Amino acid sequence: MVQLYVREGCPYCRKVLAAVQQFGLEEGKDFTSIDASVGSPGREIVLKVGGKIMVPFLIDGDISMYESDDIIAYLKKKFAVTG
């Protein structure tokens, strides 16, 4: 399952979460969103896997990426979203 690391108040995180909603993806089925705010375990995972503390951050198996536009394009392709 795709893991999306996000932080409250982050406009780029909101952009990604709005896209998954628009794509009709379901939390718990297609993806899970994980808190990556200061002091959270999610933030430590972002740093460990990605090497920098930046959100949004996606992990899908061996694939990981930053940048909201890249994440949206990846999700669109993975879930064969048209339009």
Count the domains in the chain. Answer: 1
Note whether residue 30 is domain-resident: yes
Query: Among residues 13, 15, 3, which one has the least CA distance to residue 58?
Result: 3
Give me the domain span that covers residue 25: 2-78
Amino acid at 60: D
The yes-or-no verdict on residue 83 having pLDDT over 80 is: no
Split at pLDDT 50, 70, 90, the class of 82 is: confident
Note whether residue 46 is domain-resident: yes
Q: How many residues does the chain have?
A: 83
> In CATH, what number is assigned to the domain containing residue 42?
3.40.30.10
Note whether residue 83 is domain-resident: no
The string of pLDDT tens digits covering residues 17-60 is: 999 999 999 999 999 999 999 999 999 999 999 999 999 999 99
List Cα–Cα distances, 10 to 26, 61, 80, in angstroms: 21, 24, 26
Tell me the whole-structure pTM to 2 decimals: 0.94
Six token digits for residue 20: 């998954």
Note whether residue 26 is domain-resident: yes
pLDDT of residue 81: 79
How big is the CA angle at 34 (ends 72 and 80), to the nearest 5 degrees? 30
Six token digits for residue 38: 């200061």
